[in-house]
Amino acid sequence: MAEDWLAVLIGVVVVLIIAAAALLELRRSERRLYENAQKLRVYTDLLNAITDLNLSGGDSYRMDIAKKNLALTLNRLNLVGSIGVLRSTNDLLDFLNEHRDKEFDTLRLHNILNTLVIEARRDLNPSHARQVEDARIRFRFFAPPRGK
């Protein structure tokens, strides 16, 4: 009789431990999904802010709005961005500062933006990012000629 109770007790404890472990893993997965959703929004906002800079052309009003939008996006990026995304963003900002009001190498800009997108993909979904990298996909970006 005591052995039966002991077996039942052990069974109940094992079931509780398994249920607790499953619940913890579920919470971990939910948190990861939430964090990735937040990162995706910031990464998308970053690319949109860069596009706004490109599209502002010679319009100083649009350029001021685009710069403000980029600054606010960078503040959020600093809180959630991966190391690779932050490094790529630094490379981009250095490049833009070096070529302020001058002609710049569009190919270099596209290479920096490609690296930025690759790093964001690695952060959000590493296995899919690896497939894209193995396929040697180049991402396309719209960048009108400067001063137009």
**Which residues, including other chains, have CB under 8 Å from residue 146's CB and lie 6 or more apart?**
102, 103, 104
Split at pLDDT 50, 70, 90, the class of 143 is low
**115: its two tokens:** 């690296």
The domain ranges of the chain are: 33-134
pLDDT at 148 over 70: no
pLDDT at 132: 86
pTM: 0.78
Contacts of 64-72 with CB under 8 Å at 24 or more apart are 69/45, 70/46
pLDDT at 38 over 50: yes
pLDDT at 107: 84
Looking at the chain, the whole-number percentage of residues with pLDDT higher than 90 is 61
Task: Look over the chain and give the mean of its residue pLDDT values, rounded to a whole number.
Answer: 89
pLDDT at 25: 94
Report the distance separating Cα 116 and Cα 122, nearest Å. Answer: 10
Split at pLDDT 50, 70, 90, the class of 3 is confident
Split at pLDDT 50, 70, 90, the class of 144 is low
Query: What DSSP character marks residue 19?
Result: H
pLDDT at 31: 93
pLDDT at 138 over 90: no
pLDDT, tens digit, for every residue of 80-135? 999 999 999 999 999 988 877 667 778 888 899 999 999 999 999 998 888 888 89
